[in-house]
Amino acid sequence: MSWVSDSYREHKQKWLNFQPVELDPMLIRQRLGALSPETEWPNPHLEPVVAKRVRASAKRSAVAIILRDQPELPIVRTQRSAKIRFGGQWCFPGGREAGSDDSLRTAALRETEEEIGLLGEDMTWLGCLGQYYTQSGFLIEAHVFKVEGDCNYRFNPEEVADLVEVPIKAIQNPDHYHLIGRGHERANFQFRWQSVQIGGPTVSLLIHLMRCLSGLGLPRDRIASRDKLGNF
């Protein structure tokens, strides 16, 4: 029906209005530095906001958004092993906070070493993108790092099935994002590039990262809704 296509079109235009900009690690650090670690990004999918009861019991977790310090500034993506929850999905290295972690940033570094063998000493922290609540009951804090030189990835087969590096230009291109209908006025974003399809919280973080690096914040209606309802 036409109202569905119009609604989808408006929703995509609202969230995907970022423009490709020339990026380098210094500019990325500057844009991220304007955010507070407590910056909370809302759910960009066309679905209800995460319920307060889900947020109240959310499991603390962290991910590492890793950029290779190369001309194309590729971002590292891993495919989850079929042996674990959400197997086959593409995501960032990361996982739940452990008792030994002194911060969620430490959790992101630990999980990255466990999953793909990159050491914290080989990564330079650029900043924190902020926090994001998921419908499945997680609070994700996203930390951005850069890696120089060669990466000697060492997969943990119990957790990682594959790894790709997606050029930043592809991630900046709104044409790679699709809104997939789920019925009853609900739809989810999906990023598609070559054989890689990214959805769920991971594509949400991609959208928020691109908005941040483009110098954009939240869509105006989401700012008003957050301030009024306190649900975001």
**pLDDT averages per 10-residue partition of the chain, 232 residues:** 65 89 90 89 89 95 96 94 91 96 97 96 95 95 94 92 96 94 82 95 96 79 37 32
In the chain, where are the structural domains located?
A: 2-229
Can you tell me the distance from the alpha carbon of 138 to that of 56, in angstroms, rounded to the nearest whole number? Answer: 10
Full-model pTM: 0.90
Supply 79's token pair.
């495919």
CA-nearest of 181, 225, 123 to 4 is 181
| DSSP character at residue 149 | S
- In angstroms, the Cα distances linking 32 to 88, 95, 97, 191, 216 are 30, 21, 22, 22, 12
CB atoms within 10 A of CB 149: 9
Can you tell me the distance from the alpha carbon of 29 to that of 84, in angstroms, rounded to the nearest whole number? Answer: 33
Can you tell me the distance from the alpha carbon of 16 to that of 200, in angstroms, rounded to the nearest whole number? Answer: 16
Residue 183: which residues within 8 A CB-CB, separation 6 or more? none
Report yes or no: 22 and 28 within 8 Å, Cβ to Cβ. Answer: no
Per-residue pLDDT at 3? 40
Tokens 């603390």 correspond to 60
Which three-class secondary structure state does DSSP give residue 106? helix
Can you tell me the distance from the alpha carbon of 68 to that of 164, in angstroms, rounded to the nearest whole number? Answer: 12
The CATH code for residues 2-229 is 3.90.79.10
Strand residue runs (E) in the chain = 40-41, 59-68, 75-80, 90-91, 94-96, 123-133, 138-147, 160-166, 177-183, 186-193, 196-198
